[in-house]
């Protein structure tokens, strides 16, 4: 029984990782209706930036804030410079650009920082809690994710800018007619997603150690989490991330063994998409002919 509890808590901790990335993915989707396959690598690049700042001597929180700000700017820049020209191209071309970004970030990180793992500091202590079932950092990271989630919710729900962004994503034509600068809304969405990704990366790195391939495993599970919760619902994405973390652990420990965990994620993704594509909390879109 203690083992089961342990697995569940461990799953929640891992789920926190997935939840924070899922949030960034949903953010991009809400703003642009695209799935950003390069999100993980962008988060990893931001984390390396933070690491460099800290190694250069900056205190943690200053490096943190600076990284988030710079990631925001980078996100906006990527949207304006790289994605604008392919805005009207078929969706596949956009996917190719994402994949191009993915391999570029991954490769450059390896070249500049090498592949040896690095430790990344945590603002919380890393003392184990509850007899080692979970660490203080993991609790703190989850708290950070939930805070970001709350801030996002408030932003989208109660600020005019948030409203403008939602409008621009859902109906660009009408939004333009209302005077909303759709192009900049998309850029803003990217900036926010990049910033969230940076936060996620900095919370994840202390747990899994920093190396260029840090995010490659996380991304698929984050997708699964976002899908389960509903790709257009931030709350759903976070809940979905936790669910995936726990399920993955339990399945691996008790049901199918650790050697088929990825296949399990595959089945989950296909299953959710087939049975309930809008996820647990998403809005069901009905199009009338």
Partner 1 sequence: MANTTIGRSAPATLAAAPWRIVAGVLLFAGAIALPFGLSDYQAFQVTLALSYAIAVLGLNMLTGFSGQISLGHGAFYAIGAYTTAILMDRYDWPYWATLPVAGADCLIIGFLFGLPALRLEGLYLALATLALAVATPQLLKANALEDWTGGVQGITILKPDPPAFLPIDADRWLYFFTLAVAALMFLLAWNILRGRIGRALRAIRDHALAAEAMGINLATYKAWVFGVSAMFTGVAGALSAIAVQFVGPDSFDVFLSIRLLTGMVVGGLGSITGAIWGALFIEYVPNIADQISKAAPWAIYGIFLIGFMYAMPTGVAGGLRLLARRLIGRRPPSNG
Partner 2 sequence: MATRRLVLTTALLGALAAGPAVAQTPGVTATEIKIGQTMPYSGPASAYGTIGKVESAFFAMINDKGGINGRKVNLISLDDGYSPPKTVEQIRRLVEQDQVLMIFQSLGTPSNTAIHKYMNAKKVPQLFVATGATKWGDPEHFPWTMGWQPSYQTESHIYAKYLLQTKPDAKIGILYQNDDYGKDYVKGLKDGLGDKAAKMIVSEVSYEVTDPTIDSQIVTLKGSGADVFFNVTTPKFAAQAIRKAYDIDWHPLHLLNNVSNSTGGVLEPAGLERSVGLVSAAYFKDPADPQYAQEPGMQEWVAFMKKYYPDGNLADGFNVYGYLVSQTLAQVLKQCGNDLSRENVMRQAASLNMSLPLLFDGIKITTSPTDFHPIKQMRLEKFDGKRWVPFGEAVTG
Residues that bind partner 1 (CB under 8 A): 34-35, 37, 82, 85-86, 88-93, 95-97, 99-104, 106-108, 110-111, 220, 223-224, 227, 259-263, 265-266, 269-270, 273-274, 277, 289
The Cα–Cα gap between 141 and 129 comes to 14
Indicate which of partner 1, partner 2, none lies near residue 269 (CB less than 5 to 8 Å, by partner kind).
Answer: partner 1
Nearer to partner 2, 253 or 280 (CB): 253
133 binds partner 2 (CB under 8 A): yes
The Cα–Cα gap between 83 and 65 comes to 26
Q: What is the DSSP letter of 210?
A: B
- How many of the other CB atoms lie within 10 Å of CB of 52? 14
52 binds partner 2 (CB under 8 A): no
Nearer to partner 1, 115 or 209 (CB): 115
Q: Which of 207, 231, 244, 247 binds partner 2 (CB under 8 A)?
A: 207
- Which spans in 136-233 are helix H? 136-158, 160-170, 172-177, 182-208, 216-229
CA atoms within 13 A on the CB side of 9: 17
CB of 31 to partner 1, least distance (A): 14
CB of 209 to partner 2, least distance (A): 6
211 binds partner 2 (CB under 8 A): yes
Nearer to partner 1, 134 or 268 (CB): 268
Indicate which of partner 2, partner 1, none lies near residue 101 (CB less than 5 to 8 Å, by partner kind).
Answer: partner 1
* Greatest pairwise CA separation for the chain in angstroms: 61
Q: Return the structure tokens found at 35.
A: 């799935």
CA-nearest of 226, 76, 75, 235 to 157 is 235
Indicate which of partner 2, partner 1, none lies near residue 132 (CB less than 5 to 8 Å, by partner kind).
Answer: partner 2
141 binds partner 2 (CB under 8 A): no
**DSSP secondary structure letters along 65-84:** HHHHHHHHHHHHHHIIIIIS
CB of 74 to partner 2, least distance (A): 23
Indicate which of partner 2, partner 1, none lies near residue 99 (CB less than 5 to 8 Å, by partner kind).
Answer: partner 1
Indicate which of partner 1, partner 2, none lies near residue 151 (CB less than 5 to 8 Å, by partner kind).
Answer: none
Give the position of tokens 């899994």. 208
Residue 232 sits at φ, ψ, to 5 deg, of: -110, 20
- Total site size for partner 2, rule CB under 8 A: 44
Q: What is the DSSP letter of 118?
A: B
CA-nearest of 223, 224, 230 to 284 is 230
What separation in angstroms does the CA of 75 have from each of 106, 118, 129?
16, 25, 36
Judge whether 68 and 195 are in contact, CB under 8 Å.
yes
Q: Which of 62, 258, 270, 273 binds partner 2 (CB under 8 A)?
A: 258
Q: Indicate if the alpha-carbon torsion angle 161, 166, 167, 172 is positive or negative.
A: positive
Q: Which of residues 107-126 bind partner 2 (CB under 8 A)?
A: 107, 110, 114-119
- How many of the other CB atoms lie within 10 Å of CB of 177? 9
100 binds partner 2 (CB under 8 A): no
Residues that bind partner 2 (CB under 8 A): 2-3, 6-7, 10-11, 13-14, 17, 107, 110, 114-119, 128, 131-133, 135, 204, 207-209, 211-214, 216-218, 220-221, 248-249, 252-253, 257-259, 261-262
């Amino acid at each position: 029984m203690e083992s089961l509890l342990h697995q569940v808590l461990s799953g929640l901790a891992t789920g926190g990782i997935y939840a924070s990335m899922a949030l960034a993915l949903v953010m991009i989707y809400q703003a642009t209706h695209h799935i950003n396959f390069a999100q993980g690598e962008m988060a990893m690049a931001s984390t390396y930036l933070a690491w460099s700042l800290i190694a250069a001597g900056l205190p943690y929180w200053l490096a943190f804030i600076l990284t988030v700000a710079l990631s925001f700017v980078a996100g906006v820049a990527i949207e304006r410079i790289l994605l604008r020209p392919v805005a009207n191209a078929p969706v596949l071309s956009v996917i190719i650009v994402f994949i191009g970004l993915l391999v570029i970030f991954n490769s450059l990180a390896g070249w500049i920082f090498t592949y040896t793992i690095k430790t990344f500091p945590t603002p919380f202590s890393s003392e184990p809690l509850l007899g080692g079932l979970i660490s203080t950092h993991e609790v703190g990271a989850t708290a950070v994710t939930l805070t970001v989630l709350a801030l996002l919710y408030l932003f989208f729900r109660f600020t005019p800018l948030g409203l403008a962004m939602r409008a621009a994503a859902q109906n660009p034509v009408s939004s333009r007619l209302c005077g909303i600068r759709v192009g900049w809304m998309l850029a803003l969405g990217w900036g926010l997603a990049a910033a969230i990704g940076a936060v996620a990366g900095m919370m994840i790195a202390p747990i899994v150690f920093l190396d260029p391939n840090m995010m490659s495993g996380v991304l698929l599970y984050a997708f699964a989490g976002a899908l389960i919760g509903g790709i257009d619902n931030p709350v759903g994405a976070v809940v979905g991330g936790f669910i995936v973390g726990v399920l993955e652990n339990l399945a691996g420990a008790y049901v199918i063994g650790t050697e088929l965990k990825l296949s399990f994620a595959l089945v989950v993704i296909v299953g959710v998409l087939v049975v309930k594509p809008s996820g647990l909390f998403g809005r069901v879109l009905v199009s009338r002919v």
